[in-house]
Amino acid sequence: GGPAKLEQCVTEGIAIVVAKIDGLEVLDTSTGPVSLVFVESEVKLRGKSIVMFHHSLFRVDESSNILIAEGDVTCACVTAEGKAGAFPDWTLDVFRKTAAQTS
């Protein structure tokens, strides 16, 4: 979404919060401070109120990419009143576009 979308959330009083982290697993701890790494993410929409991400962290190796860690993050929308609510349509559009790129 970028900074403009973040600003739109602030303007509209929308908070997107991490509701749950599941299945966090570290598979390889031999990554040092100068290692080149990247993250792959899958996005799944669950109705209009839940967005789930599966993140995989890889270390770039000479011959292949090595999975270092992975986990699932569930996000929810919280209104300015502090109540759970549906994501605004424009946020769902952003998530749908991202999900289409990752499937």
pLDDT digits (tens, 9 = 90+) for 54-101: 999 999 988 889 999 999 999 998 887 888 888 888 888 888 887 787
Nearest one of 101, 103, 58, 98 to 75, comparing CA atoms: 98
The identity of residue 83, as a single letter, is: K
pLDDT confidence bin for 5, thresholds 50/70/90: confident
> Which of the pair, 30 or 26, is modelled with greater confidence?
26
* DSSP-derived secondary structure for 60-74: E-SSSEEEEEEEEEE
φ, ψ at 100 (rounded to 5°): -65, -35
The predicted pLDDT at position 102 comes to 66
d(CA 86, CA 7): 18
36-55: average pLDDT = 90
CATH architecture of the domain with residue range 2-102: Roll (3.10)
| pLDDT over 80 (residue 39) | yes
The predicted pLDDT at position 103 comes to 59
> Which of the pair, 79 or 20, is modelled with greater confidence?
20
The predicted pLDDT at position 40 comes to 93
